[in-house]
Amino acid sequence: MRTEGHRRSDNFEDRGRGGGAAGAGLGAGVLFAIVRRIGIRGTLIAVVLLAGIYFFNPFGLRETVFGTLFGGVPGQTQTTTEAGAAGGVCEASPTNTNACDFSRVVLASTEDVWAQKFQSNQLPSYGAQPGAYQNPTLVVFTGGVQTQGCGAASSDVGPFYCPGDRNLYIDPSFYQVMESRLRAPGDFAQAYVIAHEVGHHVQNLIGATQVGVRGETQNQTSVRVELQADCFAGVWGHRAQASLQITEDDLREALNAAHAIGDDTLGHADERQFTHGSSAQRMRWFRRGFDSGDARQCDTFNVPANQL
Q: Averaged in consecutive runs of 10 residues, what is the pLDDT profile of the chain (308 residues)?
A: 88 74 32 34 43 39 24 29 42 71 94 96 88 94 90 91 94 90 93 96 92 87 96 97 96 96 90 92 98 97 93
Produce one character per residue of 169-187: b if its CB has 16 or more CB atoms within 10 Å, e if not. Answer: bbbbbbbebbeeebebebb
Q: What is the pTM of this model?
A: 0.80
Per-domain residue ranges of the chain: 12-295
Nearest Cα to Cα of residue 226 among 41, 50, 25: 50
Contact in structure between 210 and 225 (CB atoms under 8 Å)? no
pLDDT in the model for residue 260 = 94
Contact in structure between 150 and 228 (CB atoms under 8 Å)? no
Q: Distance between terminal CA atoms of the chain?
A: 29
pLDDT in the model for residue 291 = 97
* Residue 153: exposure state from Cβ atoms within 10 A (0-12, 13-18, ≥19): buried
